[in-house]
Chain A
């Protein structure tokens, strides 16, 4: 063994050196001076000289010389908005959890959150990176900006914010007309169901099933906002955001409707059956009347265009298909 030690050491040192040189080379490949030059070139090549100037949702001014043709979006909702605007082709990279529509999963993933692969994003050479507030550290953002990638923040906290995000992305992609159409379509769906909604009942939004600790959506969530639109009272309006709640409280507050966003993986009881079979829940009106809705595809939990779809599904569930 001892005989080999020097060789092993040499090998290790060599590997270390290789690793270091690899790291130091990378910034050289993306020289900061070259990136702006490139954009100037494309600017001259493109025939439209109208500049795009937008303010993103963290208040930063972003000016582009032409509509974006290569974009990376980290949040699932931004991917959905891009596809809804017909700009899905421009998406060259996506966050890990983007799963709608199906085509988006064919786009390379650049991970999400703290694991976001900045090197890979730079290698994909997009003009713009769409992300939510605070998704990346200042240093990472600086590295991206140095590589000539504009960072645009889209961070909807309510339905108004979703409209804003849609028009922001529409402006970036040169598809403002489509964005306006999408927003007004959503608005008209919401107005329609709001005016058709009648009596006030109570609803309970379950985010995580009992087996893993009961989590509910409280106020300041999209579910709560849509519930108010439908004249439904969220039984956990006194909880802000998503929170773990006590089973006893659900039984005491006896909701008229239960909406669960639990996923069903094809084995065992479905989420609806599982809720209906919980002991102690028998006297809850929603269980007695079998009024449990399972929304499996993040319709109501994601700030994207499908909120209108989810609201419509909830409306149909509460007031019946024929009400509108």
Chain B
């Protein structure tokens, strides 16, 4: 076997990209409505070359405006959540950390719930209001958590952040529940929304996710070396010259934006950020320069396959995506955990 470089080599990138693309194609070809493979390929080819799709009107109407944007959004949300989880677990040196631990997910959810309950909307954007409020609440939650943590403990130690994050998470959820209790008629829509769904995803959603992932995901990947230092310990990171507070702030802000965007597009989908990094760590090892890129692709594949099950398992019905991710995720997790222990 070739000597392993520290980072993610071009071969590995090519391999992971190929696997992700294969899963992506599978998810485009298989769906609730079975379309012949020939038609699928023809429609995609025609769309790419700009040709007319008149011969396959039904397939074109299902594939291009419905299935393709959804599959893209699923892949991007999976990548974002999993990357955030991996970065978070390294930064906070805690295997249970992910977006929900910091309270950012609950903050974003609260924003979205408020937007739905009070009918806050931006003219021209049907989902704009929810999105803007979710992202800004994710931001505000982070600011609150960090400033509180800073007041209590100016070194921003990990335990303080996790403690305040968990408490804030409960606080935000309780306000969400309160809003839902008083929302009356709108309670139905909010309940459906909190279950998490990627139905009705659009290309604009996918573009937004892609933009956020490129920018803030890039920041996270850029800080992989610092995360390695954090994973050993904060004191260690400080002693080898990492600007602990600045890195922590940057990483936390990047995570909160990514999670805010994901929540506004898909609602809350649990378990992806927690489980996929653990699964991948058994393949790539704990080095973040290898783990983070792997988490990106692995998260995409995991959520794509979960969504495929959610879409196809029960015929014309759809299952909530969170049900599948939690169910499959916990089983796979236990399997990996036991295998790693007995080895």
Contact = CB atoms under 8 A, between A and B. Distances in A.
Interface in B168-198: 184-186, 188-190, 192-193, 195, 197
Contacts of A236: 316
A282 interface: yes
Contacts of B319: 244
A115 B156 CA distance: 41
A214 B199 contact: yes
B202 interface: yes
Interface stretch (B57-65, B223-231, B243-251, B272-280): B57-65
Interface in B294-334: 311, 315-320
A214 B197 CA distance: 9
The 6 closest A-B pairs by CB, nearest first: A280-B65, A213-B197, A246-B32, A279-B65, A210-B200, A212-B192
Contacts of A97: 184
Contact of A213 (B62, B64, B123, B192): B192
A143 interface: no
Contacts of B190: 212
Contacts of B62: 248, 251-252, 280
B200 A247 contact: yes
A240 B56 CA distance: 31
A245 B318 contact: yes
A217 B192 CA distance: 15
Interface in B212-248: none
A245 B121 CA distance: 26
* Most chain B beta-carbon contacts within 10 A, residue among A210, A239, A249, A274: A249
A282 B61 contact: yes
A283 interface: yes
Contacts of A212: 189-190, 192-193, 197
B317 A245 contact: yes
Interface in A252-287: 252, 263, 265-269, 274, 278-283
A269 B127 CA distance: 12
A78 B13 CA distance: 63
Interface of B: 31-33, 57-58, 61-62, 64-67, 119, 121, 123, 126-127, 184-186, 188-190, 192-193, 195, 197, 199-200, 202, 311, 315-320
Nearest to B198: A213
11 contacts: A97-B184, A213-B192, A213-B197, A213-B318, A244-B320, A248-B67, A263-B189, A268-B126, A280-B61, A280-B64, A280-B66
Contact of B202 (A215, A279, A283): A279
B33 A215 contact: no
Nearest to A280: B65
A69 to B, nearest CB: 29
Contacts of A263: 185-186, 189
B200 A211 contact: yes
Nearest to A207: B188
Interface string A66-89: 000000000000000000000000
A238 interface: yes
B67 A265 contact: no
Contact of A249 (B33, B188, B195): B33
B320 A211 contact: no
A283 B61 CA distance: 8
A280 B59 CA distance: 10
Given A248-B67, A282-B61, A269 B126 contact: yes
A281 to B, nearest CB: 8
* Most chain A beta-carbon contacts within 10 A, residue among B58, B190, B320: B58
A243 interface: yes
Given A249-B32, A265-B186, A211 B127 contact: yes
